[in-house]
Amino acid sequence: MKILIIDPGRQALNYYLRSENDLITCGRISNYRDNEENCGAMTELNRRLTYEDEKIYPQAIAIRVPFGGSIFKEPAILSGSVLNKLKNLIPSSPLHLPAIIMLAQDAGTVFPGVPVVFIFETSFFTGLPSRERSYAIDPAAMHGMEIQRLGFHGILHEAACSQINAYVRSHGSVRAPRILSICLDPKPEAAAASGIIPIMTTGGATPLEGLFGDTSCGEIDPGILTKLGQELKWGPEQINKVLTEESGIEGLLGAGVKLIDIFSSKRKDHKLVSGLFLYKLLLACGAAVAAMGTLDYIVFSGRYKDAGKNIGTWLVRKMGFIRKSQEEPQLRYMIFEKQLDEVMYEIAAAKVKEYNNEFAPADIK
Amino acid sequence: MDSKTKSMNVLVFNCGSSSLKYRLIKMPDETELSGGEAQRIGPQTSEPSRIIHREAGREETIYAEMKDHGAAFEEILKIMKKNNNKVDVIGHRVVHGAGIFRSHTMIDAEAIKNLKMTEGIAPLHNPPAVRLIEACHKLYPEIPQAAVFDTVFHSTIPWQAKTYALPKWIRRKFGIRKYGFHGTSHKYVAGEAAKYLKKPLDKLNAISCHLGSGGASLCAIINGKSADNTMGYSPLPGLVMSTRSGDIDPALVLQMAIASDGNFNAMEKLLNKESGVLGMSGVSPDIRDIFRTAGKNGATDERLSLTLQVYLWRLKKALGSYLAVTGVPDAVIFTDTIGETVPGVRQEACAGMEAFGIKIDMEKNRNVKKLPADISAPDSETYVLVIATNEELEIARTAAELAA
């Protein structure tokens, strides 16, 4: 089955056309949101789907959706009711959902009859305990917005934890492994899970909270925001721009350096920043142990997963002091090698298969 | 206390926005001679301004007009004179030393000038204390005064724990970094824990849990020095507090600001005064009330139960985070109103922490009568101590050392 995988960002859209074992083609469409007329982005995508001058038609389309609220606990195939549910969530994710809805509708026009699968980053986290999901604010202050901690790299966390779970079970263990899954991406995130049940996450209601990234600030004292608003007379949008685009490693170093690069650099200022990042991960490890009683595996995934070798070695050494019974495995780290598009392919293929089975005529079933 | 320190009476002031707590402590004996609180300072309210004064086991209420903290100070000194209590030194608690005061200081004109510069960074906390110091200096210039800062103990927090990943120009322009708070209390209980364990303070590794009925913070202590604190640039982040939100997604704050037409003053009020236990429960800012009523209130039960769960969960995660920093510590210390008096909070915070070498004895925990108390189980690698904090005594010690 050939599946077109779409990962829409704030400005650019990344796409991957995959078969089960191969990446056939991939690319990027910039400023895709500006081209709304005549199904602009999807038409352009359709034009680009060729291999050795031969036109390729996808059998399914998978779209990554960063926010699905507490409603979407699993992937969903595009339908009228799914679209309505997504539209109702726009107030809680106004930056992402309108563009995704537009893309999905255009996909129906440009690729008629091809099922569109929405895969949500938040589905994994809908299982978080309410004590982890909740913020200590008056619900009435949220002006009707759905406000809860739902993380934002759930697709990779779930896949990485599932792989460790399967590995542990294949080695005869019946106890769910206690895992800290660290997604190393431009906006990184750590999540703790018992087997594949989420327990905690550094991510928040939006991707801004938690670990800092290439350009995002991560967790900061909320008092700083009111200070900036009062002193600089900046509006929320202007502050948001600084926190999401000019902070993180870029803000610390005053230069555009990626997270992956500071871990291979010998520069003193880069080492300071990598030390800061490691410290935040150490705090997350400690919180995970407190939340789950212990920690068995640390797993790295994401675009910058290769930095996991250095980070994993350091974290395992630092956390080596935790007390374990003889039956418990010693703490170790792993790298989850699959990239997001591969994982999305597997999820979409399974969903389409399930959908086809469900809607196939009874005699064929 | 250094035995060479000469005998002196230190009057310690802890200044609130409309109140002034005081204690007169004889040093170096560390005996409390008197104490009390001036209440309803400022514009006239529904009840009169008054001073509740305690001395020699007796309590009296003195009514007096106190238009500001300077007036309250004059009234308190009158009481001291009337009772023949000599004041040799005054010690002031100042919440925020900003980046200006890296150590405690004696007050002179230069110090007052610098103190005024801290008001911008801590507009909710420092101004009343600075006004009081100014008034004391003007009215009684002959009495030496010391400013003792909550933030000084945290001046040892390393770069990786105190730096926010914000643009350099913003950090520099506004002095934005983690300062940490409750330093006087964390320092005091760390000293008491070291004494209890018969260990030099500079060899003590501990987590201090200052759980007040209002504010609360945890401090990671390595070799007797602060290595991290859950509060930050301001006393807002970290644990869930009585009316403060603690940690919150910064984007949520911005979303709420958009919804309130960019009114950041309203945001500040919401996050500092209307959130935390009060905002979540909708009933009370005091977690003890939630403990008592959760599970007994029918319709509101779910909200109260969630409040309690979130309060305890954040505490537990923060404790775990700092244990990763210290490794198995010598002690976990619980202090201040909630930490000292609510066994359920201690029990939940320490439950399932065997991986960190922590195990408490349920019976000992339930029956804490005299402090300090060790509530750890016999097979716990870490001592779990309940220690009464005494910030005023710590301030008196510091002021006496500075004055000597």
The pLDDT tens digits for B5-15 are 689 999 999 98
Is residue B354 scored above 90 in pLDDT?
yes
> Cα(B137)–Cα(B193) distance, rounded to whole angstroms?
36
- Cα–Cα–Cα angle for B236, B241, B245, nearest 5°? 50
Phi–psi pair at A109, nearest 5 degrees: -80, -45
Phi–psi pair at B122, nearest 5 degrees: -135, 65
Q: Which of B249, B382, B243, B388 is closest to B319 using CA atoms? A: B382
> Cα(A114)–Cα(A125) distance, rounded to whole angstroms?
28
Phi–psi pair at B173, nearest 5 degrees: -60, -40
Q: Is the minimum CB–CB distance between A114 and chain B shorter than 8 Å?
A: no
* DSSP state, residue A139: G
User: Is there a contact between A225 and B282 if contact means CB atoms under 8 Å apart?
Assistant: no
Residues ≥6 apart with Cβ < 8 Å to B27: B1, B5, B7, B8, B9, B10, B396, B397, B400
Residue of A nearest to B256 (CA): A142
- Cα–Cα–Cα angle for B48, B51, B57, nearest 5°? 140
pLDDT at residue B3 in the model:
44
* DSSP state, residue A304: T
Q: Which of A131, A148, A150, A321 to mutate to test the interface with B (most CBs of B within 10 A)?
A: A131
Catalytic residue among B29, B88, B108, B150: B150
Which CATH architecture group holds A154-330?
2-Layer Sandwich (3.30)
Contacts of B161 in chain A (CB under 8 A): 279
Task: Report whether B157 contacts B109 (CB < 8 A).
Answer: no
132-171 in chain A: CB under 8 A from chain B: 132, 134-138, 141-143, 145, 147, 149
Burial (CB count <10 Å: 0-12, 13-18, 19+), residue B2: exposed
Burial (CB count <10 Å: 0-12, 13-18, 19+), residue A290: buried
DSSP characters for B63-88? E---SSHHHHHHHHHHHHHHTT----
Instruction: Report the mean per-residue pLDDT for chain B.
Output: 93
pLDDT at residue B187 in the model:
98
User: Is there a contact between B250 and A209 if contact means CB atoms under 8 Å apart?
Assistant: yes
Quote ipTM for the complex: 0.93
Q: Model confidence at B4, in pLDDT bands (50, 70, 90)?
A: low
Q: Which of B119, B248, B379 to mutate to test the interface with A (most CBs of A within 10 A)?
A: B248
Q: Is the minimum CB–CB distance between A312 and chain B shorter than 8 Å?
A: no
Contacts of A217 in chain B (CB under 8 A): 164-166, 250
51-80 in chain A: CB under 8 A from chain B: none
Residue of B nearest to A323 (CA): B355
User: Is there a contact between B324 and A209 if contact means CB atoms under 8 Å apart?
Assistant: no
Q: How far is CA B249 from the centre of its chain?
A: 24
Q: Model confidence at B103, in pLDDT bands (50, 70, 90)?
A: very high
Is residue B367 scored above 60 in pLDDT?
yes
For the record, the structure tokens of B271 come out as 């996050």
> Cα(B63)–Cα(B233) distance, rounded to whole angstroms?
38
For residue A200, what are the β-bridge partners?
A192
Q: Is the minimum CB–CB distance between A27 and chain B shorter than 8 Å?
A: no
Residue B150 falls in the annotated catalytic set: yes
Residues ≥6 apart with Cβ < 8 Å to B356: A289, A290, A322, A323, B320, B323, B328, B382
pLDDT at residue B124 in the model:
72
Count helices and strands in chain B by DSSP H and E runs? 15, 14
Q: Is the minimum CB–CB distance between A314 and chain B shorter than 8 Å?
A: no
Q: Is the minimum CB–CB distance between A223 and chain B shorter than 8 Å?
A: yes
How many beta-carbon pairs below 8 A join chains A and B? 248
Contacts of B174 in chain A (CB under 8 A): 224, 227-228, 231
pLDDT at residue A365 in the model:
44
Provide the percentage of residues in chain B whose pLDDT is more than 70: 97
B91: amino acid identity, one letter: G
- Which superfamily does CATH assign the domain made up of A3-120 to? ATPase, nucleotide binding domain (3.30.420.40)
For the record, the structure tokens of B236 come out as 């807002």
User: Is there a contact between B251 and A209 if contact means CB atoms under 8 Å apart?
Assistant: yes
Is residue B373 scored above 60 in pLDDT?
yes
Cross-chain CB nearest to B249 (options A209, A224, A288): A209
Q: How do residues B35-92 score in pLDDT, each as one tens digit?
A: 999 998 988 878 899 999 999 999 999 999 999 889 999 999 999 999 999 999 999 9
Going from N- to C-terminal start, the domains of chain A cover 3-120, 154-330
For the record, the structure tokens of A162 come out as 């599932």
For residue A8, what are the β-bridge partners?
A13
Cross-chain CB nearest to B328 (options A218, A224, A321): A321
Q: Is the minimum CB–CB distance between A249 and chain B shorter than 8 Å?
A: yes
Strand ordering across the sheet containing B206-211: B225-229, B216-222, B206-211, B331-335, B383-386, B373-374
pLDDT at residue B295 in the model:
64
* B167 preceded by a cis bond (ω within 30 of 0): no
pLDDT at residue A360 in the model:
63
Give all domains of chain B, ordered by start, each with its CATH number.
8-149 (3.30.420.40), 199-391 (3.30.420.40)
Task: Report whether A156 contacts A183 (CB < 8 A).
Answer: yes
Average pLDDT (B220-228) is 98
User: Is there a contact between A224 and B262 if contact means CB atoms under 8 Å apart?
Assistant: no
Ordered per-residue pLDDT tens for chain A, 365 residues = 999 999 998 889 999 999 988 999 999 998 888 766 656 888 888 888 876 778 888 999 999 999 999 999 999 999 999 999 999 998 888 888 999 999 999 998 999 999 999 999 999 999 999 999 999 999 888 776 768 999 999 999 999 999 999 999 998 888 999 999 999 999 999 999 999 999 999 999 888 999 999 999 999 999 999 889 888 889 888 999 999 999 999 999 998 899 999 999 999 999 999 999 999 999 999 999 999 999 999 999 999 999 999 999 999 999 999 999 888 889 999 999 999 999 999 999 999 999 888 766 555 44
